Amino acid sequence: MTAQYAFLTADTVPDYVRSTASLSSRIDADHLTRCEEIGDGNLNLVFLLRDHQGRGLCLKQALPYVRLVGDGWPMTPDRARHEVEALRAHHALVPELVPEVYAYDPERYIIAMEDLSDHDVWRSALIRGQHHTGAAHEAGRYVGAVAFGTSAFGLEREALASSIASSVNPDLCVITEDLVFTEPVVDAGRNSCLPANALDAKEFAEDPAVRRAMGHAKWLFMTKAEALIHGDLHTGSVMVRGGDGNGGGSGGAVSVKAFDSEFAFYGPVAFDLGALWANYVIAAARGLALGDEAHADWCLDLLAQTWEGFEQEFRRRWPTRLDPRVWDDATLQDLLLTWRSEAWLFAAAKMSRRIVGLAKTQDIETLPESQREGAARAVLHVARALVRESGADSNVDHIRGVIRRQLQTAVPAAHATVEG
């Protein structure tokens, strides 16, 4: 595929900054101490810049294909516009939880935004066993603010219609629909797993309850346009900074930022919650595989913290809903119960695709193969359990117990096989 616009490189970034007035005033492109491409994601180029005065800038450019695969998988770069619009809408609601956008270049699909190099990717911190207390609550609060502020509860009808129309994002939605909901149970040739987990993947895909649940989850995702959701909210799309002034270390998280919202569209509120929950389970599975039960339990505690942050924020905003005549407190209770149940269903989908589908997580993939087997098996067992349990009792404490038992059962089984 031939690009219709020039891609940034480390050599051309300074000239680009100099030629853009809104950026040249923010950073001295003639005296850069850092100009580095750090994109390790699946889709984009990402450059971090810093000048001699310590001022920073992040440039993100959408490529016309899926970077993970190459130009054999074309992808609209207009996703950058969706990301900018979502970042700006979300930043207006919770500016402390979303990076600020400084400029957007629609001709080259370049986003200039706040430099978060003093933060750490939350997934990386969890892999190192670091605990940023409060981050999960803040992530939940972010979802709650977006759920209310970009929905019919917070936007007048005309503004809501305009926002929905602008956010239609079929190319990236299809990726989610295929990779998250369909392919874990119907392999399209992109799935993979360890040979030792082949039976686990087969049993997962052939479980009638799983297939039915994934079909229902996909239908919800495709039809339930509730709010301008992030669309890909996992521990790899949240940045954290600890009290020591940088991303490293443990302790209280003094800054939490949700980024990478190019999958944003009007979808089900519960999807973002489920995505976070899935990644906490994956982090816990890693902890158990490494024999660190304390870290695994800490990760599972994040489930309740995120729900509490979400519920508290949504309840806080509820008194300002636009039509309290019909949206009473009974409506609020119905919404919360529905979202909690749906979130577990989405969590099951998100965690299974990370084990058998394309674009796996470093939490599992960086484990030694003998430990990876048990962790992967455990996550698939949890996903099947969530399908069975969430419809009956979606209480977070109850589900946490179910998850813990499934993880504890599956992970030692792999160790026993290896040691035997």
Integer Rg of the chain from CA: 21
Phi and psi angles of residue 232, each rounded to the nearest 5 degrees, phi first: -155, 45
* Angular region, 52: left φ>0, alpha ψ -120 to 50, beta rest: alpha
| CA triple 398-205-68, angle to 5 deg | 95
> Which residues have C-beta within 8 Å of that of residue 191, sequence separation ≥ 6?
183, 184, 201, 356, 357, 358
Q: Are 122 and 132 in contact (CB under 8 A)?
A: yes
Q: In Å, what is the CA distance from 231 to each residue of 128, 262, 265?
A: 26, 8, 7
> Phi then psi for 267, rounded to 5 degrees?
-140, -170
Q: Give the Cα separation of 339 and 314 in Å (integer).
A: 12
- Taken in order of first residue, the domains within the chain and their CATH numbers are 13-113 (3.30.200.20), 120-419 (3.90.1200.10)
Q: What is the pLDDT of residue 248?
A: 55
Residue 392 confidence (pLDDT): 82
> What is the C-alpha separation between 97 and 90, in angstroms, rounded?
8
Residue 249: per-residue pLDDT? 58
The confidence score (pLDDT) of residue 73 equals 73
What's the CA gap between 99 and 111, in Å, rounded?
11
Q: What is the reported pTM?
A: 0.94
Q: Which token pair is 207?
A: 């479980």
pLDDT, tens digit only, all 420 positions of the chain: 445 899 999 999 999 999 999 999 999 999 999 999 987 656 789 999 999 999 999 999 999 987 666 676 788 899 999 999 999 999 999 999 999 999 999 999 999 999 999 999 999 999 999 999 999 999 999 999 999 999 999 999 999 999 999 999 999 999 999 999 999 999 999 999 999 999 999 999 999 999 999 999 999 999 999 999 999 999 999 999 997 655 555 678 789 999 999 999 999 999 999 999 999 999 999 999 999 999 999 999 999 999 999 999 999 999 999 999 999 999 999 999 999 999 999 999 999 999 999 889 999 999 999 999 999 999 999 999 999 987 789 999 999 999 999 999 988 654 444 333
The predicted pLDDT at position 243 comes to 73
Helices (H) and strands (E) in the chain, counts: 15, 13
**Would you state the pLDDT for residue 360?**
94
Q: Spell out a b/e string for 146-166, using b for 16 or more CB atoms within 10 Å of the CB, else e.
A: bbbbbbbbbbeeeebeebbee
How many Å apart are CA 122 and CA 127, to the nearest integer? 9
Distance of CA 337 to the CA centre of its chain: 22
Residue 235 CB-half CA count within 13 A: 29
User: Do β-strands 251-258 and 132-133 pair in parallel, antiparallel, or remain unpaired?
Assistant: parallel
Tokens representing residue 420 in the block: 């035997």
| The predicted structure's pLDDT at residue 51 | 96
pLDDT the model gives residue 419:
38
Q: How far apart are CA 321 and CA 319, in angstroms?
A: 6
